[in-house]
Amino acid sequence: MLGGIEVMHMIRKGQMKCAGKYPSSASQQFYFLAS
């Protein structure tokens, strides 16, 4: 669970870049990783 919290912080701070052409919102990136 703590790993998920750290990932969410990284997404929110923009440290995780999306692979697509268009940037996703933080929630979209988190749900993509969770699925």
Grouping H, G, I as helix, E, B as strand and the rest as coil, residue 9 is: helix
DSSP state of 13: T
pLDDT at 10: 75
Q: Measuring CA to CA, which residue among 6, 5, 16 is closest to residue 25?
A: 16
Cα angle 18, 5, 20; round to 5: 5
Over residues 2-34, the pLDDT tens digits come to: 566 777 777 777 666 666 655 567 777 777 767
pLDDT at 6: 78
Q: What is the pTM of this model?
A: 0.39
Q: Count the neighbouring beta carbons within 10 Å of the beta carbon of residue 3.
A: 7
